[in-house]
A and B are shown apart, each in its own frame.
Chain A
Amino acid sequence: MVKQGLSKVTKRNRGLYWLRRDWRLYAMLAVPILWYVIFCYKPMAGLIIAFQKYNIFAGIKGSKLIGLENFKFVFSMRDFGIALRNTLWLNFLDLIFGFPVPIILAILLNEMRMLRLKKISQTLLYLPHFLSWVIIGGMVLEIFAPTSGAINSTLLKWGLIDTNIPFLTNGAWWTFTYVLVGVWQGMGWGTILYLAAITGLDSTLFEAAQIDGANKLQQIWHVTLPGIRSTIIVLLVMNIGRMMSIGFVRPFIIGNTLVQDTCDVISTFVYRAGIQNNQFARATAIGLFQSVVGLVLITIANAVSRLFDEQGIW
């Protein structure tokens, strides 16, 4: 009896020895994990309201499940179609125009031998990344303003245009401004990973190319670019994977009611429907749709990028 009891105790102790040994580690984890539960996982559970006739007073428990009604309603909305189209279109343009610039800039920076100038250039090129979109948006609204804005007034002064260009109030011009500002903000910062990749290249490759008589351009084309190909592809694929998600502040702050059909994207649409108009369930349905499609895209992107880079991004 006693023997049996003892062995039971030791067995149990052996089973939980790790808890006795590591309780301090688990104690450290407790608060952060609790934070993840409350601020990340609980809202995920809150996604259930996308399938409910949600009533803010009745709460999640008191609201009735209505299946896919909210989704059906949302998908039939004209404004949702516009927001979805704009999200994909603006992200696509960002990719086309915003993606190549950092690569070119990184190669140029790498070729610079005037090190002081290079350092100063880098510092100034990175600067826009550190400013909030509110500050950038405010600057954009001033610089692109009609008449008083620097761009319009300069172009008028030089006689290049007769009337103000409606940078912010005409749909096509607004898109132009939006993309331009995105490229402007991201081009310097985007060089960092490419510069790191170029620095990691074997310098003997360049020497060999030089001895073979390759000029600078040929070296860039035949050594530098192939050398950073995997970095380029991984970043490209990850960018494509993020096609469904779009920042809130940039379109929100540069946008205005005159170009509503051009500047309204999913994030601003959700804000308007959910937080401003209290259409919680429908706005959640849009968010869920966006998250799920985004998750699928990013998973595919990660799998594809793994083919090119053993480690993937994470």
Chain B
Amino acid sequence: MQGKLNPSLKKKATTGQYILAVIMLIFVAICTLPFINVIAISLSSKSAILRGAVSLWPVEFSTKAYEAIVRDKSMWHSLFYTIELTAIYTGLSMILTILIAFPLTMKRLKGRKFFTMFIVFTMYFSGGTIPIYLNIKQLGLLDSMWALVLPGLISTFNVIIMKNFFSSLPYELSEAAFIDGANDFQILLRVYLPLSYSSLATLSLFYAVSRWNSFSDALYYITSRNLQPLQLKLYNLIKGAQAIEVTVIEGNANEMASSLSESIESATIIFATVPILLVYPFVQRYFVKGVTMGAVKG
């Protein structure tokens, strides 16, 4: 278009485009180099890591760290446990989110304003870490899988996104179904849900990724080793390594100890990242859509 206006602009624009491309590549490099570094560390030998010889390429290539992880039964247990946890959490979350978003979409519902206020208020104010912790303790959920499922089951933000989507469906649809004798359950199951597949997929991914990445609730509520999700397991590993590093700096341990676990640590980071990377290409566009959807008021 610029070319049509002024032919001389076109050449300038392409030079500009190249400059832009270079700047963007720098940003992209900043975003990706840390990953490459960690991959390189995970595939390098201990002595090379210790010397600080590893930057973007494995030095003295070794797959020992991965072998150690693959042989570690607790790592696989933690992986499958986290998958199970995420699946249960996502399923229940979606059911509750739909069950609250649908009635709140119906304008004729008495008390609709009140219920909406009732849930939106929780976005602004909460009991806070300790009262929530004591509540879970009192309910007898501490150190059980349900402590990681129940307390975070509904995200009000996601409810609002779901509600906005339901509201965008033409009201006449439910009216027509009602005249044909459908009740509200049937309208939800046969009219609304089949039209909402993309939103349902988006929200499921929101819930699943947030559960997968959650760490602090596991830190607060879980003590048993076999109930630790992957993030907590990874944290314990990292903290163990860091504790050694701090003692090195304080002069209480030799540096040899600090690099002992570095490649294993890196390999574990990669191990925990791969599941996210596998789904990432599919979830990314839904997430982008979700952000812009959430910004629109309903």
For the complex, what is the distance from the CA of A249 to the CA of B216, rounded to whole Å?
A: 7
Inter-chain contacts of B106 with A (CB < 8 A): 22, 25
Please tell me if the beta carbons of B295 and A253 are within 8 angstroms of each other in the complex: no
Please tell me if the beta carbons of A153 and B52 are within 8 angstroms of each other in the complex: yes
Which of B30, B99, B129 makes the CB contact (< 8 A) with A28?
B99
Please tell me if the beta carbons of B215 and A249 are within 8 angstroms of each other in the complex: yes
Please tell me if the beta carbons of B129 and A270 are within 8 angstroms of each other in the complex: yes
The reply on B100 being an interface residue by CB < 8 A is: yes
**Binary A-proximity of B115-130 (CB < 8 A = 1, otherwise 0):** 1001110111111111
Inter-chain contacts of A121 with B (CB < 8 A): 24-25, 27-28
**Binary A-proximity of B58-83 (CB < 8 A = 1, otherwise 0):** 00000000000000000000000000
- Secondary structure call for the B interface: helix
**Binary B-proximity of A174-214 (CB < 8 A = 1, otherwise 0):** 00000000001001110011001000000000010011000
Inter-chain contacts of B185 with A (CB < 8 A): 24, 28
The reply on B176 being an interface residue by CB < 8 A is: no
When A43-B131, A156-B52, A193-B291 are in contact, do A28 and B103 touch as well, CB less than 8 Å?
yes
Please tell me if the beta carbons of B284 and A126 are within 8 angstroms of each other in the complex: yes
Interface residue stretch chosen among B150-158, B165-173, B193-201:
B150-158
For the complex, what is the distance from the CA of A193 to the CA of B290, rounded to whole Å?
A: 11
For the complex, what is the distance from the CA of A26 to the CA of B130, rounded to whole Å?
A: 32
When A148-B52, A291-B128 are in contact, do A108 and B133 touch as well, CB less than 8 Å?
no
The reply on A84 being an interface residue by CB < 8 A is: no
For the complex, what is the distance from the CA of A148 to the CA of B52, rounded to whole Å?
A: 4
Would you give the shortest CB distance from A212 to chain B, in whole angstroms? 11
The reply on A159 being an interface residue by CB < 8 A is: no
Please tell me if the beta carbons of A137 and B118 are within 8 angstroms of each other in the complex: no
Please tell me if the beta carbons of B255 and A117 are within 8 angstroms of each other in the complex: no
The reply on B269 being an interface residue by CB < 8 A is: yes
Q: How large is the interface on A (under 10, 10 to 19, 20 to 34, 35 or more residues)?
A: 35 or more
Inter-chain contacts of B224 with A (CB < 8 A): none
When A36-B122, A156-B52, A267-B129 are in contact, do A280 and B134 touch as well, CB less than 8 Å?
yes
Would you give the shortest CB distance from A209 to chain B, in whole angstroms? 11
Please tell me if the beta carbons of B125 and A291 are within 8 angstroms of each other in the complex: yes
When A25-B109, A134-B235 are in contact, do A210 and B20 touch as well, CB less than 8 Å?
no
When A253-B238, A267-B129, A275-B129 are in contact, do A192 and B291 touch as well, CB less than 8 Å?
yes
The reply on B45 being an interface residue by CB < 8 A is: no
Q: How many residue pairs bridge A and B at CB < 8 Å?
A: 284
Q: How large is the interface on B (under 10, 10 to 19, 20 to 34, 35 or more residues)?
A: 35 or more
When A42-B135, A43-B135, A192-B288 are in contact, do A184 and B31 touch as well, CB less than 8 Å?
yes
When A35-B153, A43-B135, A138-B265 are in contact, do A22 and B184 touch as well, CB less than 8 Å?
yes
**Binary B-proximity of A46-57 (CB < 8 A = 1, otherwise 0):** 110100000010
In the complex, besides A25-B106, A47-B128, A127-B280, 17 extra interface pairs with C-beta distance below 8 angstroms are A21-B108, A29-B115, A32-B97, A44-B126, A108-B20, A121-B27, A132-B214, A134-B231, A134-B235, A138-B234, A142-B37, A143-B34, A153-B53, A193-B295, A275-B130, A313-B297, A314-B297
- A-B contact list, 15 entries, CB within 8 Å: A22-B184, A31-B96, A42-B127, A47-B127, A117-B24, A126-B288, A130-B213, A131-B273, A135-B231, A135-B272, A148-B258, A149-B52, A274-B129, A274-B130, A291-B128
Q: Report which B residues bind A (CB closer than 8 A).
A: 1-2, 5, 13, 16-17, 20-21, 23-25, 27-28, 30-32, 34-35, 37-38, 41, 49-56, 96-97, 99-100, 102-104, 106, 108-110, 115, 118-120, 122-135, 139, 150-151, 153-154, 160, 183-185, 188, 209, 212-216, 220, 231-232, 234-235, 238, 241-242, 245-246, 249-250, 255, 258-259, 262, 265-266, 268-269, 272-273, 276, 280-281, 283-284, 287-288, 291-292, 295, 297
